[in-house]
Amino acid sequence: MCAISAGERGRRVLLVDHSRTLAGKIRISGGGRCNFTNQNVGAENYISANPHFCRSALSRFTPQDIIGYLRKHNIDWQEKKLGQLFLKNTSRDIIDMLRQECLETGAEFLTGKEVVEVHHEAGKKDREFTVLIENQAISAPSLVIATGGLSVPETGSSPFGYKLAKQFGLQVTELKPGLVPITTQSGFPDLAGISIHTIATCNKMSFREDLLFTHNGLSGPAILQISSYWNSGDPIELDLLPGLEDVLLADYPGKKLLSTALAQYLPKKFAQYYCRNWLEDKAIGHYSLNQLKMIEKNLHRFSIIPTGTEGFRKAEVTVGGVSTHELSSKSMESKRVPGLFFIGEVVDVTGWLGGYNFQWAWSSGYVAGSFA
């Protein structure tokens, strides 16, 4: 997107990628159908040390702008839940679209080549950046770093962008996996594959979505969302009966087993597991009203303390990155080093699940290309 934006201004652009195939993360995203944006994008959908930093870029290249490109290329898309927009066919459509747009502006590609070194003479205005790519040196007045984060390493992710930022004296915030499954002490092998609609809460943030039990812990949209706000040692609170009140009292006093009563609102296997591990599975009538109220309260505030996460290997994004205090929100240019830009996931701006990170990529890329 940055190459397209700069090329449309008549700039000569070289796009370098150490992978031989472009857009690895686009190719695998959204189950191969690329959740390319969200209808409801706003600054509140992003995590950053400066929560206002992303506003400028998001307002200047919006979801409607990326949709405009798709319409130009006759690419079909559809809206799924929560404003999420997916391609109707495959991610290949959007990759081909971006490549074609680049070529139309005259942008050149250099793929399958490693950047060895980057040089720039500090303190001298208008000095060019020299990038050593294997056995050739290429110079330009602007250098844009769009190298992504540490997530999904099989797509070619690397810490290159963070190392380069530090080389030029820019601050990089703490990095951690985001949108990632969490692990628990013993995992949930007996419940693996079972899904429950829930409200997951951590550090004053809540998401109402499905969770998924796994052999190692928990996953699913609710858990992936809240994982970006979780820090080691924090509890995660789960409301397993969202919007329901006094469900057990409706069967009181009766002979129905507690697990049977719970199975009216929760998966039967989970109801049985819950009663087997934390309660005595006896008839509803054998509990007092206060006991039933306490059981239900615990289901509304089911607390777990994760032992960790599945790490960058399973994470969809990297939380943290090049500090937003180092960059202009208007142009994405470094305040310390004129001509040096950072965009996308390498910056300390992390979106929610649901197309927000792609929109940040398009918006920040467009903005940097408008100034580089």
Query: Between 256 and 214, where is the model more confident?
Result: 214
Least trusted range by pLDDT, from 25-29, 91-95, 123-127, 211-215: 123-127
Report d(CA 331, CA 368) in Å as an integer. 5
Does 140 share its domain with 190?
no
Nearest to 256 by CA among 295, 275, 282, 274: 282
Query: For position 133, what pLDDT does the model report?
Result: 94
Does 15 share its domain with 160?
yes
Q: Which domain holds residue 89?
A: 2-177+319-371
Does 192 share its domain with 237?
yes
**Does residue 224 lie in a domain region?**
yes
Q: What CATH number corresponds to the domain at position 244? A: 2.40.30.10
C-alpha dist (Å) from residue 170 to 314, 335, 357: 28, 9, 23
Q: How far apart are the first and last CA of the chain?
A: 13
pLDDT digits (tens, 9 = 90+) for 136-175: 999 999 999 999 999 988 888 899 999 999 999 999 999 9
Question: What DSSP line would sit under 124-162, residue for residue?
Answer: -TTPPEEEEETTEEEEES-EEE----SS-GGGT--SHHH
pLDDT of residue 123 exceeding 60, the answer is no
Chain-wide mean pLDDT for the chain?
94
Does 140 share its domain with 231?
no
Q: What CATH number corresponds to the domain at position 45? A: 3.50.50.60
Query: For position 15, what pLDDT does the model report?
Result: 96
Does 10 share its domain with 95?
yes
Which among 263, 284, 309 is the end of a domain? 309
Report the residue count for the chain: 372
**Does residue 314 lie in a domain region?**
no
Does 171 share its domain with 186?
no
Report d(CA 237, CA 221) in Å as an integer. 15
Residue 166 DSSP SS3 = helix
Which among 279, 309, 339 is the end of a domain? 309
pLDDT digits (tens, 9 = 90+) for 335-367: 999 999 999 999 999 999 999 999 999 999 999
Query: For helices 356-371 and 63-72, what crossing angle results, to 10°?
Result: 80
Does 144 share its domain with 15?
yes
Q: Which two tokens stand for residue 266?
A: 């929760």
| Number of domains into which the chain is organized | 2
Query: For position 233, what pLDDT does the model report?
Result: 95
Query: For position 126, what pLDDT does the model report?
Result: 61
Mean local confidence (pLDDT), 60-89: 96
Does 160 share its domain with 223?
no
Report d(CA 17, CA 355) in Å as an integer. 23
pLDDT of residue 122 exceeding 80, the answer is no
Neighbours of 330 (CB within 10 A): 12
Does 110 share its domain with 136?
yes
Does 296 share its domain with 332?
no
Does 117 share its domain with 159?
yes
